[in-house]
Amino acid sequence: MPRVTESYREARREEIALAALRCIERSGLGDTTIADIVRESGLSAGAIYSNFTNKAELARYVVAHFLGVRRTRIEDGGRRGEVRSPRELLGTMLSTFRESVISPAVPLQFWAAAAVDPGLREELDRTIAEISASLRIAVAPWVAARQPDRDLDEVVRGITALAQGYIVHVAVLGPREVDDYLDAMAAALPERD
């Protein structure tokens, strides 16, 4: 029988996860210690372990709650039939990193960790599948209007990969305009060789 309400418990989990996110931003996932999160949250080690079974579950929670994108923002125009090009959609998606709530280094940390942690990888796959579903709705009008012979899913995979590539590129090599990045990709990929 819970003594506190479920929403109180959820609020505390989010409080801990946000403290963890700030630490990860600063030190990376591997170098963020429970002691760091204790300090940042002002709670105790026990408090963290009574809300999460371990560090790995806390990491999965961070992915599920802070690494998605605001779906509606991407989907809405598509539902209304608005024609938005992949370029525009990428601009919208990646603007999250300019508003700098989360630095591109954060997803990179989680991708690297997912490569050796199947549970985290599953959580990330779920997140990526959700983003792909939103993109599919968003880009459908453009494909219908401008590239009717293209496979919609291939375009969606392309956008997903471009977003992923941009994030890593920026995290590893420093800030870069989305448009400049896309121009460089286009320059290296002419329609025919």
Binding site for DNA (CB under 7 A): 1-4, 9, 12, 32-35, 43-47, 49-51, 53-56
- Kindly indicate which of the ranges 10-18, 39-47, 74-82, 158-166 contains the residues binding a second copy, using the contact rule CB under 8 A: 158-166
Interface residue with a second copy among 98, 122, 172, 177 (CB under 8 A) is 172
Angstrom distance (rounded) from CA 178 to CA 165 = 11
Identity of the residue, 20 or 105, whose beta carbon is nearer to DNA in the bound complex: 20
Residue 125, CA distances (Å) to 49, 68, 71, 129, 153 in order:
26, 11, 16, 6, 16
User: In angstroms, what is the minimal distance from the CB of 35 to a second copy?
Assistant: 16
Task: Supply angle C-alpha 90, 78, 127, rounded to 5.
Answer: 55
Q: How many residues bind a second copy (CB under 8 A)?
A: 54
User: In angstroms, what is the minimal distance from the CB of 41 to DNA?
Assistant: 9
